[in-house]
Chains A and B, each alone.
Chain A
Amino acid sequence: MGISESERYHRQIPRLRSPHFWIIIILFVVLTLSHYSELLSGIPVLGNVSLPEVASPARDSLERLSYLLLIIYSGWALGIIGGAALWFLSAAAMLPHSFFISLYRRDTVLESSVSLIISVLAIILIEARRQNKQRLERLEKTVKDLELSQQNYEELFTNASDAIWIHDIEGKLTLANKACEKLTGYNVPELIGKDVSEFLASDGLTLARQIKERLLRGEAIEQRYEQRLTRKNGSEAIILVATRLIVSDGKPQAVQNLARDITEERKLRDNLQFYLRGYLKAQEEERKRLASELHDDTSQQILLLAHNLDNLTSKAGSYSPQKLRDELEKLHDLSQQAYQGIKRYAQALRPRILDDLGLLPALEWLAHEITDVTGIKVEVKTGAIPQLAPETQLVLFRIAQEALNNIHRHSKGSEASITLECQENEIRMTIDDNGKGFELPQRLSDFASQGKLGLTGMLERIRLIGGELEVTSEIGKGTKIIVKAPFRLYK
């Protein structure tokens, strides 16, 4: 808030341009002309004017008083430099008059000196006052800035998304912000005075003690570390903490903690790992099943076909035309069986109808298949649906497939419906059933840890294309799955 020298210098320039400057110059000139008027008027007709007649001691005194006032005015309006400049000018104007012109030299010299001394004092006084005022203003501004900055800090502390708390060396909480409420479930007044050990399980407590000992030994804990704490409702929160010792006068006073709640992230990660493990296992089993079917079924049929062809090649010459036709007929049947097998596996892996005809016929086919195999009545309801991007079609188809599988395996429902709707910029698919329903976890991401891999799979799939999944279910009231996918047209 200090003003640098160059700023001071620049502030002088406008002073020269200020009207005060010119008023002072004009007044000074007029005053000086008046002061020496007898001398001037005497120039053209020197001998004609008798000096004592013209000179009036009263007017001279008045003029000296005017100099004094002008110096003070200059000091007030133009600052100390302006005042000083005018002081010198006035001294130069008054003193010659006193010494050489005035008839009462002793009195006038005294009078001039007094007015010059008074004006010096006045200028100093004015300047001192001005400086004082500036200092006061600066102080006021500093106080205001300080208040604002404190307010900002308080807000930052109170509303920080990270939990911040301070406890004394014994572990009693002395300060906590709002995020602590969210983290622990207690409100701030409840928290103050509590011992931090109340939140920690034995493992956590050991860790906290180690940290404290290291801090007291003077080590800095640079890395954030993971800590688990128990919330008011008994649930566990996982946090990432940074801890620092507050030292004043060389003595440790308190411990400051900054913590981020990573419970969600950690659960999500655990769930994803859980899902991935389950998914890989299922994939491996599926491959194993397919491989063994191909080995045991199709491969055998083709081998048999080759074997019989070989047999026929060597014996054909001895067969009658009728016998030959019968043998060939058998081979044809065998090749047909192998073909049917391969077709079945290919269809199970990826139904052709989805690629050839698109989502809607594929869903109708799927509904029909499920009805044939399980007896569950599945209705497909839809309005006009434009052709969707292939990956959107695939994701929606797989989700419907998984949902219908779930209905068959878990829900014990007898009826289901798949509804496709096209909204402004998204496609929405709803799968409803009249099954027994289930209890929903708090978060969709908890499906995996509950062993509901199917639902997790749906969630992961729809996220891949930027969509959303919504599940509503209640015991005894069936399940409804809504998937929404952003609308991208087939290119």
Chain B
Amino acid sequence: MSTKDKLKILIADDHPLLREALQRAIAVEEDMEVIAQAGDGEEAVKLASELSPDVIVMDIVMPKLNGIEASKKIKEIAPNIAILILTAYDDEEYILGLLDAGAAGYLLKSARGHDLVEAIRAIRSGESVLHPNIIAKLLKRAMEAPTEEKKLQELLSERESEILKLVALKGMSNKGIAEKLFISERTVKAHMTNIFNKLNVASRSEAIVRGLKWGLVSLKDTTDKFQD
């Protein structure tokens, strides 16, 4: 695989030893490479806008600017960069907070190098999925908060809305969707890429979060879901 096709990764963590460990885990993979390391949140924002990495692996506790604030800034400047947040805690409330900040996914700090690589790949291929509990919470929030339904209708085609609903409400994989809609997995993937572009996001989780925020589901959808 040529350097050009490799996934470009930026690592942001204030512990040099941990950064090294993460870099080592990625270095052995052929399809990705670490293009830079940042020691604090401000540096991460700066490097992200200069180097446009594909994925940023970001720690939360960092000097100057914490990982959550840094993520919000980066998503404002470059919404197509996917951010994978490293966290010690995977409590639902915590994860919801990370998703609000624009994270594409999260990885527990205790996870192994192999898990890190898999998580990066899953995000990039648009296959990363959220835990059903998290989706349920997101739904509950979406139902309570006022939404901007029109925005989504203008943006997405009917097919795209249908696919995003299957992703968001049923947690379906590309393969599952392909089977249900009698189309090829490649077509599903193309649709997902379109959805990401139209919603200006970099990952499946972000598409779900934004979709729900913008009124992807109405009360009718949820009752449909429960009838299923």
**Chain A residues at the B interface, C-beta cutoff of 8 Å:** 332, 336, 339-340, 343, 347, 352-353, 356-358, 361-362, 364-365, 368
Contact = CB atoms under 8 A, between A and B. Distances in A.
Contacts of A352: 60-61, 88-89, 94
B7 interface: no
Interface string B82-119: 00000011011110110000000000001010000000
Interface residues of B, number: 14
Contacts of A347: 89
B131 to A, nearest CB: 14
A361 B93 CA distance: 6
Contact of A365 (B60, B68, B93): B93
23 contacts: A339-B110, A343-B89, A352-B61, A352-B94, A353-B89, A353-B91, A353-B93, A353-B94, A353-B97, A356-B60, A356-B61, A356-B66, A356-B97, A357-B68, A357-B93, A357-B94, A358-B97, A361-B94, A362-B93, A365-B93, A365-B94, A368-B92, A368-B93
B89 A364 contact: no
A394 B91 CA distance: 19
Interface string B68-92: 1000000000000000000011011
A400 to B, nearest CB: 14
Given A352-B89, A358-B97, A365-B93, 6 more contacts: A347-B89, A353-B91, A353-B93, A356-B60, A357-B68, A361-B94
A359 to B, nearest CB: 11
B110 A361 contact: no
A45 B60 CA distance: 132
A352 B66 CA distance: 12
A340 B108 CA distance: 11
B165 to A, nearest CB: 26
A365 B91 contact: yes
Contacts of A364: 93
B97 A357 contact: yes
B92 to A, nearest CB: 7
Contacts of A362: 93
Nearest to B145: A384
Nearest to B112: A332
A159 B25 CA distance: 82
A368 B92 CA distance: 9
Contacts of A353: 89, 91, 93-94, 97
Contacts of A358: 97
Nearest to A347: B89
A353 B93 CA distance: 8
B134 to A, nearest CB: 13
A340 B110 contact: yes
B115 to A, nearest CB: 13
Contacts of B92: 368
B198 to A, nearest CB: 28
Contacts of B97: 353, 356-358, 361
By Cβ-Cβ distance, the 5 closest A-B pairs, closest first, are: A357-B97, A365-B93, A364-B93, A361-B97, A361-B93
A361 B112 CA distance: 28
Interface in B111-130: 112
Contacts of B96: 361
Contact of B88 (A343, A361, A365, A368): A343
A362 B94 CA distance: 8
Nearest to A342: B88
Contacts of A356: 60-61, 66, 68, 94, 97
A123 B131 CA distance: 118
A229 to B, nearest CB: 56
A353 B97 CA distance: 9
Contacts of B89: 343, 347, 352-353
A382 B91 CA distance: 20
The residue in B60, B88, B92, B93 that gathers the most chain A C-beta atoms within 10 A of its C-beta is B93
Nearest to A363: B93
Contacts of B93: 353, 357, 361-362, 364-365, 368
A320 B91 CA distance: 40
Nearest to A353: B94
B107 to A, nearest CB: 15
A332 B21 CA distance: 15
Nearest to A351: B89
A357 B88 CA distance: 14
A332 B113 CA distance: 12
A369 to B, nearest CB: 8
Contacts of A339: 110
A358 B66 CA distance: 13
A352 B95 CA distance: 12
B110 to A, nearest CB: 6
Contacts of B94: 352-353, 356-357, 361, 365
A339 B97 CA distance: 23
